[in-house]
């Protein structure tokens, strides 16, 4: 049985986290705006809990198959997960991941910790680096290179060595991958992206497996959230849950369009390389030409929105190295494409004209 009970995931997305269907009850979990609660209830102060959070956490926990906590942003969730590394501890990680993670790992090194970096597809290297490590960080596909990791092998090896494993599951979403079922200890999400899906909120999630090992981890993550004070606003969480209702529909459309665009871009005269992981709604392209040529492509679109971020209903594109914090392992001429739910022909016509106009 899946963590969503007897329900198909599409149905669970619609029905999870709703109030009990009692006469007169609201159909949606309301936004609860209260910083404190009358004593002796299940919640006592809004930095430790909120009924709107609980609804969202029930939904995410069911989807990933563990216990979820909502955080103020994806970075809030990542910071909480990295707080599990002991002082002067060792982390194994891909050499290219989301740049916020890259920067936090650099900070961990500056504080006396060690980071062993491997190319995401170097599975044997990852496995050998696990000896004596405290935590392995996994992101697959990697953002923005779209490299796919061998999750099963790395997670099995981590578990066998007692190394804590964390998977950033933002790009696949729980519909594309359920890392806890593969043996991961913690999943993190930037729920800002596909989960909320409308580019209107920042939110993060951590999910911990329900096994004995997970119990202690869940408490530590909760403590980190409570004491760091990086908590999500109830309205943002309400919007996150509303966005989640349509995740399956949005992803179905966006993924089909991404596959079609990847095929058409392959062999396009203005494209040197297509980086498409084979599923999902993200791809990257290396433009034929330099950084300026890639910038001209981004500036020449009308339907695609030239903006950072991903996972919204609107298609977005960006030359990633325009972000000063992006690692140098990302080519200067790489454009990341987040495919939305517009009509495929409009997206293609817009991208094609921008690519042809740019050289």
Enter the DSSP assignment of 31.
Answer: P
Q: How many CB atoms lie within 10 A of CB 22?
A: 6
Copy the structure tokens of residue 298: 């981004």
CB-nearer residue toward ligand PLP: 61 or 204: 204
Total binding residues toward ligand PLP, as defined by CB under 6 A: 14
Nearest approach in angstroms of CB 19 to ligand PLP is 27
Question: Which range touches ligand PLP (CB under 6 A), out of 59-67, 69-77, 246-254, 258-266?
Answer: 69-77
Name the β-bridge partners of 116: 92
Q: How many helices (H) and strands (E) does the chain have?
A: 12, 12
- Contact between 170 and ligand PLP by CB under 6 A: the answer reads yes
Enter the DSSP assignment of 182.
Answer: G
Among 12, 53, 56, 98, binds ligand PLP (CB under 6 A): 98
- Contact between 289 and ligand PLP by CB under 6 A: the answer reads no
- Contact between 100 and ligand PLP by CB under 6 A: the answer reads yes
Check: CB of residue 95 under 8 Å from CB of residue 118.
Answer: yes
Among 202, 261, 262, 298, binds ligand PLP (CB under 6 A): 202
- Contact between 192 and ligand PLP by CB under 6 A: the answer reads yes
Nearest approach in angstroms of CB 153 to ligand PLP is 21
CB-nearer residue toward ligand PLP: 204 or 214: 204
Question: Which range touches ligand PLP (CB under 6 A), out of 27-35, 117-125, 168-176, 286-294?
Answer: 168-176
SS (H, E, C) 60-112: HHHHHCEEEEEECCHHHHHHHHHCCCCCCCEEEEECCCCHHHHHHHHHHHHCC
- Residue number of the CB closest to ligand PLP reads 74
Instruction: Summarize as ranges the residues that interact with ligand PLP (CB under 6 A).
Output: 73-75, 98, 100, 143, 168, 170-171, 190, 192, 202, 204, 309
């Amino acid at each position: 049985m899946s963590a969503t009970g007897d329900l198909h995931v599409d149905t669970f997305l619609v029905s999870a986290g709703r109030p009990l269907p009692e006469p007169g009850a609201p159909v949606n979990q309301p936004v609860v705006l209260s910083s404190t609660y009358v004593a002796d209830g299940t919640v006592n102060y809004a930095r430790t809990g909120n009924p709107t959070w609980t609804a969202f956490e029930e939904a995410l926990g069911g989807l990933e198959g563990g216990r979820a906590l909502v955080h103020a942003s994806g970075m809030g969730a990542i910071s909480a997960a990295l707080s599990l590394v002991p002082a002067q501890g060792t982390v194994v990680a891909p050499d290219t991941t989301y740049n916020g993670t890259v920067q936090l790992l650099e900070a961990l090194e500056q504080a006396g910790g060690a980071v062993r970096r491997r190319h995401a597809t170097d599975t044997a290297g990852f496995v050998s680096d696990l000896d004596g490590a405290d935590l392995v960080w996994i992101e697959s596909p990697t953002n923005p290179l779209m490299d796919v990791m061998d999750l099963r092998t790395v997670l099995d090896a981590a578990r066998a060595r007692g190394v804590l494993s964390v998977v950033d599951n933002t790009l696949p979403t729980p519909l594309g991958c359920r890392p806890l079922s593969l043996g991961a200890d913690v999943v993190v999400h930037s729920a800002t992206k596909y989960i909320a899906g409308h580019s209107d909120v920042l939110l993060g999630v951590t999910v911990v497996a329900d096994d004995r090992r997970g119990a202690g981890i869940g408490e530590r993550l909760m403590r980190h959230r409570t004491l760091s004070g990086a908590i999500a606003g109830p309205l943002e969480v309400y919007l996150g849950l509303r966005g989640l209702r349509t995740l399956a529909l949005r992803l179905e459309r966006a993924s089909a369009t991404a596959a079609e665009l990847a095929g058409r871009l392959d062999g396009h005269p203005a494209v040197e390389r297509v980086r498409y992981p084979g599923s999902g709604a993200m791809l990257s392209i290396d433009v034929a030409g330099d950084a300026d040529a890639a910038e001209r492509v981004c500036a020449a679109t009308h339907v695609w929105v030239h903006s950072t971020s991903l996972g919204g209903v609107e298609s977005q594109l960006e030359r990633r190295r325009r972000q000063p914090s992006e690692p140098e392992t990302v080519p200067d001429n790489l454009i990341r494409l987040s495919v939305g739910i517009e009509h495929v022909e409009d997206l293609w016509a817009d991208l094609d004209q921008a690519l042809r106009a740019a050289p």
